[in-house]
Structure 1
Amino acid sequence: MKLFRFDPVMPITQFGSMNVVAAPVMRNDIGIQVVWMRLDAGGRLGNHQAVKNQLFIVTSGNGWVQTENGDKTTVTVGQAAFWQSGEWHESGTETGMMALIIEGDAIDLPNIAPQRNST
């Protein structure tokens, strides 16, 4: 067994982001990477384009996700948002949220029906 720490973490300030820190978890040779992210209370990961397909999995707390022209959609533990490469999006929280973000062109989502949008 090996134990790992994901601190110190990097503050994220691009795109008007605030109260957000991140740490790389892994990257492989086919272009898939995993990043751990913490949005503290009042945190916001500003509006930006997904560079690759991106799965945003909420692991703690709750918050919201939004596409460029869409309404904010509430997300909580056990829920995830998927953005395709090139899609504009942002996320945030009033009370705090942690997420794992899996990015890569080769992401193969589970064969499950997506949850309907809710606010």
Structure 2
Amino acid sequence: MEIYRFAKDSGKKITQYNSDFVMSRVIRTEGGVHIGAMYLEKDGIIGYHQATTPQLLLIISGEGFARGESEEYIMVRPGDAVFWTKGEWHETQTDTALTAIVIESENLDPSSFMPNKSEII
């Protein structure tokens, strides 16, 4: 399991075309991609299962805990991006609530755009 950051402070200020915003690039992919929104209520869980394809979970609001194949849970909060490889066992849960965007594709490489959270802590 790897945790990346897509929060505002990981982005780049864009001023081209008289713009004024920050863009946190997340991913570029070729081929098929599935993108969905996931809403976990209080005590919600995405049960322990194998990833059928590489998956990137972008935490939008709330907080929770994610794990890969180890039994160690890592706290995740808005701006975190959790990446699991194809076949990797994983789980996400929350005591309060959590909203996330999930991106699934055979061609995901989040390290090409986002800094690894362990490198910026």
Task: Report the AA paired with residue 118 of structure 2.
Answer: R
Q: 1:116 to 1:63 in 2, by over 3 A?
A: same
What are the ranges of 5 or more consecutive residues in structure 1 without an aligned counterpart? 1-28
Give the superposed CA RMSD. 1.8
Q: Which structure has more RCO (C-alpha within 8 Å, separation ≥ 6)?
A: 2
TM-score, length of structure 2 as denominator length: 0.68
1:114 aligns with 2:116: yes
SS at match of 2:117: coil
Figure out how many residues of one structure are paired with residues of the other and give that number.
89
Task: Report the AA paired with residue 116 of structure 2.
Answer: P
Deviation beyond 6 Å, 4+ runs, structure 1: none
Q: 1:91 to 1:112 in 2, by over 3 A?
A: same
TM-score, length of structure 1 as denominator length: 0.69
Q: 1:88 to 1:80 in 2, by over 3 A?
A: same
Kindly indicate which of the two structures has a greater share of residues assigned to helix.
2
User: How far apart are the structure 1 equivalents of 2:32 and 2:52?
Assistant: 11
Query: Alpha-carbon deviations, 1:82-116, whole Å to 9, x = none?
Result: 00000000001000000000000112323343112
Query: Alpha-carbon deviations, 1:34-78, whole Å to 9, x = none?
Result: 010000000011100111110000001110101122300000001
Q: Percent identity?
A: 34
User: Between Structure 1 and Structure 2, whose CA radius of gyration is higher?
Assistant: 2
